[in-house]
Structure 1
Amino acid sequence: MIEIYTDGASSGNPGKGGYGIIMILKGTTYEKSFSEGFRLTTNNRMELLAVIIALEKINKPNQEVEIYSDSKYVVDAINNKWIYGWEKKKFEKIKNPDLWIRFVKIYRKHRVTFHWVKGHYGHSYNEKADQLATTAAKGDTLSIDIGYEKIISEKKNIFE
């Protein structure tokens, strides 16, 4: 089984942001962490992107995966089955459709269970994921959240 701890952060919402991921192969000493920062994004996008990237890192299909996140946005969307209604409506009129579409594709390749953990409450792996995310958001070299910046650009063009 693979345990994954994720967190997303943004300084301003929107603002500079980042995600942090810790992946553990249960029953072994294997532990790997990942993070990336973005120049303009939102906290919810980073929370969701962390989960997506973590699932994309798994090489073999049909793995048993436990994901721990402090994001109600992400965890509730899955555990309350909102995602299926959104998918039937082709992710229209919801925020971050580009990421939800990407999520559904990778989510179906594994057996995933989501767990909500209270953020900033002393859970060591959640705190570590948060530190990775906030450090990444403060980095000197920040990536472009193409999906978010496209949305901002399209909204701007409506008023020009």
Structure 2
Amino acid sequence: MATENTHYTRTPRSEKLKWVDHIAYLMDNQFRFPGTNFRFGLDPILGLLPFAGDIASFGVSAVLILTMARHGASGKLVALMMLNIGLDVIFGSIPILGNIFDFAFKANERNVRLLRRHYEEGKYQGSGKGIMAGVLIGLVVLLVFLVWLLWQLAEWMWHLVASYF
């Protein structure tokens, strides 16, 4: 039994998932504001690019979730991770306020912390192939919603600008 608990503790740091930590760090904490301890990553920087940045950031987060699900994250854990990504996508898409939100709400970091806690509590389930279809469907739904939301924002901004001319 003792070796199993050790296995769970070391698994999030295993070679298979080491790159998940690295990508989450890159997206949420890679850079530091000079003279402060406040860290940020590529996610809020990508958010400065209208539409394309939000979709790129979503794509990276989706790949991280798929990888974590494939390596044994439970269905409940994946649902919580998708909720984090959903909040990041929805609020991060709002012009200006969304950029501020992206600096503070670090969805990828939150998801890696959830994964670590999941492994430390011994809830690791082995291969997550059984939930992959559900994860893919959920991510596609989130992507469709993101595209629809960005389209609505673009239309609103177009009408706003057109009304001045």
TM over 0.5: no
Structure with higher RCO (Cα < 8 A, 6+ apart): 1
Say which structure is richer in strand: 1
Say which structure is richer in helix: 2
Structure 2 length as normaliser, TM-score?
0.28
